[in-house]
Structure 1
């Protein structure tokens, strides 16, 4: 599992982002007013995790001079704002094809994503498939847990956040993506009984007995 980047390591990435041709350890140490040793210690994680890489090595009268640059993965650590663009596309798509076909489109997208992950579920019983699904949803950014109704014994997946909450508030059809995705991987019917986009404090997906 990737390690959390510290504030100091984020400063290093920011300097490398601002200097596209790269910087050496001495330049970074001077810019941040810390020692070369401290920079090298931070580099251990940043390089091992793929956030930075060595781009050049120059021979000098003293020690070799290594130049480091930020990688695409490192650039990915900085904030992005996709919501407005996604909303623009979804607005146009729903207007173009209509609400019913838009919902069906979201369902197909959910199944398509599930199919790309199918091998991770091969040969697993329901409990194993549920645990694998929880892992995948956590990796996607959901805060999820499995809940069991004490009266009925029915399992539910409970999400305390929605990774596209603002979009789902305006386009409730997006929820069909989640339901189709879960149903396809678990091979069970999924009932979306509670929805944050409709004002609930969490999203709840009850796992049925049949597909």
Structure 2
């Protein structure tokens, strides 16, 4: 079987996720723990942005909290979501182990780490606007606004690619089709949306 170097794994996971995951299953490369930690920093920055955290505290705290708490958030999210997803894929007839599911989740975060790299130019261009309700820099003209929207589009593409790699990886380790891998990924959030809608209907 084709053997990839560490750098080749990082490239092939984008377009050959099944082959790459298959190769990784035969190795013991625990470097994927680093991916989870880095992805957690991105998650923390996203949380801070969505909650307009800089309206309540300083930019320094926003960035330091991302570096300090982000890796912890990444680890917790990794164990929690990989565990729930593993239960779903086993229910769908998957044959892989939780270790394999965790490995797939970890390597699927490569696009999320790419999203983390986007924060560097975002912070340079827009600064605290990214974490406040009022955004004077972004709203200062068509140029800054268009640039901000371009970054948003890139982030959306990377988020979609995360789900593509995850679906393909799960299908590889659990021995079913890519479509079943896709449904196993979206089953939990879809079920949550349905429950929320039903709750709203019953309450109203």
More strand by share: 1
TM-score normalised by the shorter chain: which range applies?
Answer: under 0.3
Larger CA Rg, structure 1 vs 2: 1
Which of 1 and 2 has higher RCO (CA within 8 Å, sep 6+)?
2
Q: TM-score, normalised by structure 1?
A: 0.23
TM-score, normalized by length of structure 2?
0.24
